[in-house]
């Protein structure tokens, strides 16, 4: 037996995706390979075992191999673990919905349906109206049969045939989805179906006398519980995958197949209690008009896939299954989170007209994407994009974005084992700056906390998370998290026009402390001889305190960007996520508009410019008011840019 020690350099360790890659590599060799960490070993050809071993970056491991190509296997696998991989291929991307539905926007007025509409979580914007396709897979009911000793070998052979068939089906679906956002999900599920650990656990139960279906269900549930108990949210989510795969194994053994979304007719709206990534993966989603589910949230895999394909979706809808099943037609507004089952004729007609008008309008507005948006009296207003990942760059440029007015960096930090390092952040911000140069790219420092925790940062449980340890408050307490981001921003600023902006500012001292940290980072980089720039520094005005102190704060910064989503919720004391108080949470409320005016007046006196990056920036009914108040930049989701430019040109 050959043995070699190695130190793991794979960023974030051998969790989901790298574990799959590692196992694929190990399977190329005929040698048996074991990976040992802290005295515990795992078969290197089982992704399931490997993930449960929990190998982290910087861990010391031992690789053991036995067989004809043992030395080549050890060489290849130790190279793999010792190679630092900056980017995590397949990391989940796609910006979760901001949590601020475009409620009240003129084109969303009234939501999906006025007749008996329900509200769920806005998961993917757009409107849909179509026949329902009810997707309610039956509960798996299988008799538990104790095997006679003579039946065991045949039962194991039956299991192996079922595993082989499922593996082939997933491979086929993986090929169909190749290159698409969800092909990695299919691949990960296929790995589980082929996993030796899972097969061995089922086989052991069969040998103990359980029939194959019973054994598969039990083994799958036990394994899923092990994953569900892990601290790492990435790995916890694998429990769902294991349940989905073992369900398929059991069905195959029973000679049944599940209801399939592939049977949904073109233009149907899928209604379901729950849809898994497995169900959606590899389907031609452009045929589907919409999706409505009782379970799920804005950041679930399903929401991410729906957004990636532009399928309007409302998840987390509080409704009886029976009502869903009984509905024949469903209307939904994915931006407002509204759903109406069997809408009346007037609602149907209105929605149909809106969908058609929306498509026509979108085509006509594209002509405005490339114009320079000036008011008739000659004022140029910059119309920029709000984005959350580099994947959105192309859409923003196509829409005519004049830079980025808000880069939400929290999405880089969420759904990872620990915060991204300084080098990785430098690369992301640098690429963003290059993509839009010479236009500015305003990168917001981490606005995480409250309802959006990030692994690697210990968040306390809070009774009022939106009034808690959020944004700059957390950052100032955690220089170990904050300084690498500031250093990365200083370094990236040599590659374009980077501006730095801090969220949730409530007092002057916070601004001074951020500036002091930036100075400290600059001095460190200079001492280290690392090239860096001197980006402008501004703040978000999104707390009533910042609006009231705008005059004083203006002396400390070069710009303000008004976050109307939070400013509305804090001025009106109305939770932005609570549909019951949505009528109060309005950026066009006189109280909020007065606060915005106050900020603009103070900024003008101090000579700093003001932008708006909350959802209200895209509202044609408010843009003229904002421009009249002195706002010179509006930042919004890419899809709204052409309409905003047209609106400015008409002022
Ligand atoms: C805002 O509060 O208006 C804003 C733009 O920030 P976020 O929606 O990310 O809180
Ligand atoms: Mg905000």
**Catalytic entry in 301, 475, 532, 600:** 301
Rounded Cα distance, 314 and 324, in Å: 13
Q: Of all protein residues, whose CA lies closest to atom 10 belonging to ligand 1?
A: 566
CA distance 542 to 562: 6
Residue 651 pLDDT exceeds 50: yes
**Closest ligand to residue 444's CA:** 1
For ligand 1, whether the C-beta of 98 sits within 6 Å is yes
The residues near 422 (Cβ < 8 Å, ≥ 6 apart) are 484, 485, 487, 488, 491
Residue among 144, 157, 140 nearest 245 (CA): 140
144-157: pLDDT as tens digits: 899 999 999 999 99
Which residues have a Cβ under 8 Å from the Cβ of 608 and sit 6 or more positions away? 538, 554, 557, 558, 559, 560
The DSSP string of 70-116 is HHHHHHHHHHHHHS---S-TT---SPPP-S---TT-GGGTT-S-SSS
Q: Kindly report, residue by residue over 472-529, the tens digit of the pLDDT.
A: 999 999 999 999 999 999 999 999 999 999 999 999 999 999 999 999 999 999 999 9
- DSSP state, 617? G
User: Which of 444, 570, 614, 633 most suits a substitution to test ligand 1, by most atoms within 8 Å of the C-beta?
Assistant: 614
CA dist 86 and 428 (Å) reads 11
Residue nearest to atom 4 of ligand 1 (CA): 563
Q: How far is C-alpha 463 from the geometric centre of its chain's CA atoms?
A: 25
Please name the residue that has the structure tokens 């574990």: 19
For the Cβ of 183 lying below 6 angstroms from any atom of ligand 1, the answer is no
- How far does the centroid of ligand 1 lie from the alpha carbon of residue 108, in Å? 20
Q: Give the model's pLDDT for residue 146.
A: 94
CB of 296 within 8 A of CB of 274?
A: yes
pLDDT given for residue 47 in this prediction: 86
Centre a 10 Å sphere on the Cβ of residue 1 and count the other Cβ atoms it contains: 10
Kindly give the distance from the C-alpha atom of residue 503 to the centroid of ligand 2, in angstroms, as a whole number: 7
Q: How far does the centroid of ligand 2 lie from the alpha carbon of residue 528, in Å?
A: 35
* CA 264 to chain CA centroid, nearest Å: 26
Whole-angstrom distance, CA of residue 438 vs CA of residue 393 = 15
Question: What is the CA(553)–ligand 2 centre distance, in A?
Answer: 18
471 lines ligand 1 (CB under 6 A): no
Range in 36-40, 190-194, 397-401, 406-410 with the lowest mean pLDDT: 190-194
- Angle, alpha carbons 158-164-166 (nearest 5°): 105
Query: What is the rounded average pLDDT for all residues in the chain?
Result: 86
For position 243, what pLDDT does the model report? 86
Over the stretch 78-93, which tens digit does the pLDDT of each residue have?
Answer: 988 887 654 333 332 2
502 lines ligand 1 (CB under 6 A): no
Nearest ligand, CA of residue 97?
A: 1
Which of 616, 641, 643, 638 has the alpha carbon at shortest distance from 307? Answer: 638
Q: Say if ligand 1 is within 6 A of residue 617 CB.
A: no
Residue 505's pLDDT is what? 98
Strands (E), 350-444: 382-387, 404-408, 440-444
Measured in angstroms, how far is the CA atom of residue 648 from the centroid of ligand 2? 24
Per-residue pLDDT at 519 = 98
532 annotated active-site: no
Q: Give the Cα separation of 623 and 382 in Å (integer).
A: 12
Q: What is the pLDDT of residues 165-222, one digit of tens each?
A: 888 887 777 776 655 545 666 677 778 888 888 999 999 999 999 999 999 999 999 9
Residue 403 region by backbone torsions, left for phi larger than 0, else alpha for psi between -120 and 50, else beta: left
Atom of ligand 1 nearest to the CA of 561: 5
Q: What is the residue with the minimal CA distance to atom 1 of ligand 1?
A: 563
Q: What is the pLDDT of residue 113?
A: 44
Question: What separation in Å is there between the alpha carbon of 565 and the centre of ligand 1?
Answer: 5
Nearest CA to ligand 1 atom 3: 563
Q: What is the pTM of this model?
A: 0.64
Supply the angle between the helices 238-253 and 152-176 in degrees, to the nearest 10: 120
Any ligand 1 atom below 6 A from CB of 159: no
pLDDT score of 295: 83
Q: Which residue has the tokens 């002195």?
A: 630
* Mean pLDDT computed over 554-565: 96
Can you give the pLDDT at residue 94? 29
Ligand 1 contacts CB of residue 444 (under 6 A): no
H or E segment and range at residue 129: strand 127-135
Dihedral of CA 102/104/105/111: which sign?
positive
Q: With a 6 A CB cut-off, is 100 part of the ligand 1 pocket? A: yes
Model confidence at 455, pLDDT cuts 50, 70, 90, reads low
Report whether 435 contacts 395 (CB < 8 A).
no
Q: Is the CB of 646 under 6 A from ligand 1?
A: no
pLDDT in tens, 382-392: 999 988 888 78
Measuring from atom 6 of ligand 1, which residue has the nearest CA?
Answer: 563
Q: Which atom of ligand 1 is nearest to the CA of 569?
A: 2
410 Cβ closer than 6 Å to some ligand 1 atom:
no
Angstrom distance (rounded) from CA 151 to CA 206: 10
Element (H, E) at 487: helix 479-492
pLDDT, tens digit (0-9, with 9 covering 90-100), for 86-126 = 433 333 222 333 333 333 333 333 445 445 689 898 888 78
Predicted confidence band of residue 559 (pLDDT cuts 50, 70, 90): very high
613 assigned to active site: yes
- For ligand 1, whether the C-beta of 612 sits within 6 Å is no
403 CA from centroid of ligand 1 (Å): 18
Distance in angstroms (rounded) separating the CA atoms of residues 113 and 117:
6
User: Which residue is catalytic, options 217, 475, 521, 613?
Assistant: 613
């Amino acid at each position: 037996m050959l043995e070699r020690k190695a130190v793991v350099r794979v960023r974030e360790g051998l969790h989901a995706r790298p574990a799959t890659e590692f196992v694929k590599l190990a399977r190329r060799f005929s040698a048996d390979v074991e990976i040992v960490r802290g005295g515990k070993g795992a078969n290197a050809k089982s992704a399931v075992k490997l993930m449960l071993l929990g190998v982290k970056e910087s861990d010391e491991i031992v690789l053991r191999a036995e067989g004809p190509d043992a030395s080549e296997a050890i060489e290849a696998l130790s190279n793999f673990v010792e190679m630092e991989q900056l980017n995590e291929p397949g990391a989940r991307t796609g910006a979760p919905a901001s949590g601020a539905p475009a409620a009240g926007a003129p084109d969303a007025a009234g939501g999906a349906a006025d007749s008996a509409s329900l509200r769920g979580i806005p998961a993917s914007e757009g409107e849909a109206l179509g026949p329902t396709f009810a997707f309610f897979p039956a509960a798996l009911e299988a008799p538990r049969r104790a095997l006679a000793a003579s039946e065991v070998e045949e039962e194991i052979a039956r299991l192996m045939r079922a595993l082989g068939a499922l593996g082939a089906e997933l491979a086929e679906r993986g090929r169909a989805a190749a290159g698409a956002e969800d092909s990695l999900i299919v691949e990960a599920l296929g790995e589980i179906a082929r996993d030796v650990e899972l097969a061995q656990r089922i086989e052991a139960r069969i040998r103990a006398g359980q029939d194959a279906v019973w054994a598969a269900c039990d083994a799958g549930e036990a394994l899923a519980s092990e994953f569900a108990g892990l601290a790492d949210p990435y790995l916890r989510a694998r429990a769902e995958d294991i349940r989905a795969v073992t369900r398929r194994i059991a069905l195959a053994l029973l000679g049944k197949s599940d209801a399939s979304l592939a049977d949904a007719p073109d233009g149907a709206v899928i209604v379901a209690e729950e849809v898994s990534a497995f169900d959606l993966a590899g389907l031609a989603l452009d045929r589907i008009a919409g999706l409505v589910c009782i379970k799920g949230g804005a950041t679930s895999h399903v929401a991410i896939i729906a957004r990636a394909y532009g399928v309007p979706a409302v998840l987390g809808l509080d409704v009886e299954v029976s009502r869903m099943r009984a509905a024949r037609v469903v209307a939904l507004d994915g931006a407002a989170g509204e759903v109406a089952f069997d809408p009346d004729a007037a609602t149907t007609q209105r929605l149909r007209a809106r969908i058609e008008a929306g498509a026509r309008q979108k085509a006509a507005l594209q002509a405005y994407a490339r114009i320079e948006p000036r008011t008739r009296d000659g004022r140029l207003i910059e119309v920029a994009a709000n984005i959350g990942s580099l994947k959105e760059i192309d859409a923003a440029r196509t829409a005519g974005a004049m830079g980025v007015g808000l880069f939400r960096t929290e999405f880089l930090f969420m759904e990872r084992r620990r915060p991204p390092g300084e080098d990785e952040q430098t690369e992301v911000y640098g690429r963003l700056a290059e993509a839009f140069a010479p236009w500015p790219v305003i990168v917001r420092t981490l606005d995480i906390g409250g309802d959006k925790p990030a692994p690697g940062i210990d968040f306390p449980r809070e009774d009022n998370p939106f009034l808690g340890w959020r944004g700059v408050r957390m950052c100032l307490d955690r220089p170990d998290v904050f300084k690498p981001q500031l250093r990365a921003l200083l370094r990236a600023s040599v590659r374009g026009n980077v501006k730095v902006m801090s969220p949730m500012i409530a007092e002057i001292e916070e601004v001074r402390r951020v500036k002091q940290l930036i100075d400290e980072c600059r001095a460190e980089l200079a001492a280290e001889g690392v090239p860096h720039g001197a980006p402008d520094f501004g703040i978000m005005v999104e707390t009533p305190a910042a609006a009231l102190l705008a005059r004083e704060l203006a002396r400390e910064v070069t710009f303000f960007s008004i976050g109307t989503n939070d400013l509305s919720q804090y001025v009106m004391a109305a939770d932005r996520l609570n549909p019951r108080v949505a009528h109060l949470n309005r950026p066009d409320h006189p109280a909020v508009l007065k606060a915005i005016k106050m900020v603009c007046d103070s900024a003008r006196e101090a000579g700093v410019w003001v932008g708006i990056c909350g959802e209200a920036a895209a509202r044609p009914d408010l843009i003229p008011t904002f421009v009249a108040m002195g706002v010179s930049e509006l930042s919004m989701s890419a899809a709204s840019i052409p309409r905003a430019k047209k609106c400015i040109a008409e002022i």
